[in-house]
Amino acid sequence: MKGYRTLRKLVLSKLEENLPKSLTYHGIDHTLDVMQVCNQYIRRGKISEKDRYLLRVGAIVHDMGFLKGPVNHEEVGAGMAESILQKLGVDQEDIDQIKGLVMATKIPQTPGNYLQQILCDADLDYLGREDYPEISEKLYAELKYMKVISNARQWKEVQIDFLKAHHYHTPFAKKNREPQKQIWLEKLLKS
């Protein structure tokens, strides 16, 4: 589909070169992880070629707004993506769908269709995986640097509240990620 490889190369190089090193969670590794998880959904499901394209583009640009800062990064990133996609000649209808994908990932997540559900679940896939502790530590370091939280006790409370409030949207994540997420929640509650 139109401009995918160009967009991927452009956005990933911008993220790699320009994201602050203090973004220990919202760095290129997170974007690559979300892209990989979306590709796993594509391999598992019956997703049309056009929807695969939209989902992959959405995954690439979903946290692009962090290039300008953490405040309203979804809105900022959706605008940045629109500008790049227009230059690549992507149809406005597709651009609007991609912007919708980005906006759906804003916490609390509000997916309005199946593609948005996939991207939302891919964005927080790690909550129900074995590597949750390592990824969670990266987010802790980032939030501590940003002065959103100041100590481990606060971080534990934030994690517990977030895991309690979060829910997956796709059948796959409900079946394959939710059980492990509940295990992590129980461990936090008991620690």
- Domain ranges for the chain, please list them: 4-190
Architecture of the 4-190 domain: Orthogonal Bundle (1.10)
Cite the beta strand spans of the chain per DSSP E: none
pLDDT value, residue 155? 97
Q: Please list, in sequence order, all residues whose beta carbon lies within 8 angstroms of the beta carbon of residue 1, skipping any fewer than 6 positions away.
A: 49, 50, 53
Q: How far apart are CA 103 and CA 26, in angstroms?
A: 16
In the block, tokens 């501590």 appear at 144
Q: Residues in the chain with pLDDT < 50?
A: none
Q: How far apart are CA 120 and CA 174, in angstroms?
A: 12
User: What pTM does this model have?
Assistant: 0.96
Condensed to tens digits (0 to 9), the pLDDT of residues 147-178 reads: 999 999 999 999 999 999 999 999 999 999 99
Residue type for position 9: K
